[in-house]
Amino acid sequence: MKGVTGRERVMVAAAVAVFVAFAYLYGLLMPLRARAAVAAREEEALRAKIAAGARMYDERAGVEQEIATLRSRTDELLFSDPDVPKAIVRQLDHLASKVRVAVTRVSPEEGDPVGELVRFRMQFEVESDFAHAVRLLYELEQPEQRLSVEKVDMGAIRGEGGKLRVTIDVAAFGPPPQDEDSDAEA
């Protein structure tokens, strides 16, 4: 560095120092600011989730009460008897005698699993006049019967003067049948 004065050396050293400081700020601190901005957005999103969780926690007691109410209402719609098909037959027999119709045939089907429950279907046939058939259908559709009518077929019986053969498909829900093996183990 011949012919460079002391003042020029100081100026070059100062320029190098400024360049190093600028490179440091630009290369290190700027990415940190970007990361800080991303972290601030993530923090805001997490705070919103925490607030939503707190609201859900506050609503939990009300929801638990609604669930308990729905469970009790659902239980009212289910047959609690462990042998649901027999319970359905008993109920149909009771209704038939109440309405004064003769049950001529009962055909139960295997239960179909539906979630934690089993849907039991049954077809039965009665012989009656039109008024008693309508009364029976009315009684079957009452909520306390826990049965749903899925299909009805009516046809006149030849030579019986106004008598009808009514075939009704009903369904009901109940608990799964107990295995005999699990009863023996208990």
Which of these three, 49, 77, 105, is where a domain ends?
77
* Per-residue confidence (pLDDT) for residue 175, from 0 to 100: 77
Residues 104 and 177 in one domain: yes
Residues 55 and 111 in one domain: no
* Per-residue confidence (pLDDT) for residue 186, from 0 to 100: 43
Confidence of residue 125 (pLDDT cuts 50, 70, 90): very high
What value does the mean pLDDT take over residues 159-175?
84
Q: How distant is the alpha carbon of residue 22 from its chain centre?
A: 61
Which of residues 177 and 104 earns the better pLDDT score?
A: 104
Owning domain of residue 115? 84-182
Give me the number of domains the chain comprises. Answer: 2
Residues 97 and 54 in one domain: no
Q: What is the CATH number of the domain that holds 141?
A: 3.30.70.60
Determine whether 139 is exposed, middle or buried from the number of CB atoms within 10 Å of its CB (0-12, 13-18, 19+): middle
Residues 71 and 88 in one domain: no
Rounded-to-integer distance, Cα 114 and Cα 67, Å:
19
Token pair 């008993």 in the structure block, residue: 90
Residues 127 and 169 in one domain: yes
End-to-end CA distance of the chain, in Å? Answer: 101
Residues 102 and 153 in one domain: yes
Which of these three, 17, 48, 77, is where a domain ends?
77
* Per-residue confidence (pLDDT) for residue 184, from 0 to 100: 46
Single pTM value for the model: 0.55
What value does the mean pLDDT take over residues 106-120?
84
User: Which two structure tokens, joined as six digits, stand for 59?
Assistant: 């609503």
* Per-residue confidence (pLDDT) for residue 183, from 0 to 100: 46
Rounded-to-integer distance, Cα 110 and Cα 22, Å:
82
Q: What angle do CA 57, 72, 170 make, to 5 degrees?
A: 130
Question: What pLDDT digit, counting tens, does each position of 36-80 carry?
Answer: 889 999 999 999 999 999 998 888 888 888 888 887 776 666 666
Q: Quick one: three-class SS letters along 75-136?
A: HHHCCCCCCHHHHHHHHHHHHHHHHCCEEEEEEECCCEEECCEEEEEEEEEEEECHHHHHHH
Residues 90 and 172 in one domain: yes
Residues 58 and 88 in one domain: no
Residues 57 and 147 in one domain: no
Residues 94 and 174 in one domain: yes
Residues 176 and 92 in one domain: yes
Residues 45 and 65 in one domain: yes
What value does the mean pLDDT take over residues 127-147?
85
Question: What pLDDT digit, counting tens, does each position of 3-49 carry?
Answer: 778 888 888 889 999 888 888 777 777 777 788 889 999 999 999 99
Average pLDDT, the chain: 83
* Per-residue confidence (pLDDT) for residue 44, from 0 to 100: 94
Which of these three, 77, 111, 143, is where a domain ends?
77
Measured CA distances, 90 to 9, 37, 63, 87, 141 (Å): 111, 72, 37, 5, 16
